Amino acid sequence: MAQRDEVFLTGAGGFVGSHVLTALLTRGYPVRALVRSTGRPLPVIAGCTPVLGDLREPAALLPALRGCRYLVHVAALYSFAPARRADIWATNVRGSAGLLEAAALAGVERAVVTSSSATVGHAHGPKLATEEDYAWDTESSPYHHSKCAQERVALAARLPVVLVLPTAPVGPGDWKPTPTGKMIVDFMRGRIFGTLNGGMNLVAVEDVAAAHVLALEHGQERERYLIGGENLGLARIWELLAEIRKRKPPTARVPYGLALGLAWADELRSRLFNGGLGGAAPLVPLEGVRMARHNMFVSDEKARATLGHRPTPVRAALERAVAWYADHGYAH
């Protein structure tokens, strides 16, 4: 395979970013991967050159960006902890704006920016959310607000940008884990006793990674592409996990009012913990409960038709996720 032009990649130490790194290298792209000095170190991989830096200091990345034809910006800060809300905006919005400006100055010709399907909101009855929808609302989390603002920053950048909007990726390597991964881990640990009435779109993380490469090669400038897999009710997700783990799924329906009350109580605990600094992440995230009463269902027909996105079965991705968590001690 002929070597392609070099890509500057952010977020290679994260769940989605690590799979994007693999997809880029497999496709023949040499990669300069941004790594924070305090972050998770990257393994030594042929074709990948680690670059120490921080999104909150984007001007310092200018020398490393020079010589790269492409930028794939996956990195983001996602936390439910009240104390991290200012950091979320600084990283996801101001950091993205600075990175894209540095990339333009460095001569980067094209960028793919990872957003989130949360920016399109939820389904309205039988109408699935599409790229034509925008979800600025009072119930979304600081993270989701930051991703909406990041999209505006990206679309105003001085270089061609393609936006990729993954739904909820699942699969191996979710080491933090992400909120969706935590759902799986909590189920494996026997902590899920009931379900709400909502649903979500799950997608294999490997398919999300492949879609980033497709967007780099075939995406249209300043277009948004939802990258989804399967729209599933929460009860069906628990059923699939129960089949994989060979146990009974939770069947009790939790009233939304009860779940919301517990979430508000946990939000207060998070704010008061650590001397009132809000350093603790809630166990029952308020934003998660609010979203769980909706069907976060999307249509990814645009990505299928334009990019060639072909999602693989979600059950197989859940099996890979469960096996990875079990192998790495998360099930205890």
Indicate whether 276 belongs to any domain: no
Indicate whether 81 belongs to any domain: yes
SS (H, E, C) 268-288: HHHHHHHHHCCCCCCCCCHHH
Indicate whether 249 belongs to any domain: no
Cut 0.85: pTM above it? yes
Indicate whether 208 belongs to any domain: yes
CA 85 remoteness from chain centre: 17
Amino acid symbol at 114: T
Distance CA 166, CA 147 (A): 12
Beta-strand relationship, 230-233 and 199-204: antiparallel
Domain with 88 in it:
7-169+204-229+297-312
Question: Is the distance from CB of 204 to CB of 316 less than 8 angstroms?
Answer: yes
Distance CA 326, CA 137 (A): 37
Indicate whether 184 belongs to any domain: no
Q: Which of 232, 251, 247 is nearest to 295 (CA)?
A: 232
pLDDT surpassing 60 at residue 135:
yes
pLDDT surpassing 90 at residue 282:
no
Question: Is the distance from CB of 229 to CB of 201 less than 8 angstroms?
Answer: yes
| Model confidence pLDDT, tens digit, residues 76-114 | 998 766 677 889 999 999 999 999 999 999 999 999 999
Indicate whether 127 belongs to any domain: yes
Q: Indicate the burial class of 221 (C-beta count within 10 angstroms; 0-12, 13-18, 19 or more).
A: exposed
Distance CA 319, CA 110 (A): 35
Indicate whether 144 belongs to any domain: yes
pLDDT surpassing 50 at residue 276:
no
What is residue 265's predicted lDDT score, i.e. its pLDDT? 62
Q: What is the CATH number of the domain that holds 20?
A: 3.40.50.720
Residues forming beta bridges with residue 124, ordered by sequence position = 127
| Model confidence pLDDT, tens digit, residues 179-231 | 899 989 999 999 888 777 789 999 999 999 999 999 999 999 999 999 999 99
> What's the DSSP call for residue 312?
P
- Which pLDDT band holds residue 13 (cuts at 50, 70, 90)? very high
Distance CA 2, CA 25 (A): 12
Number of domains in the chain: 1
Indicate whether 195 belongs to any domain: no
- Which pLDDT band holds residue 273 (cuts at 50, 70, 90)? low
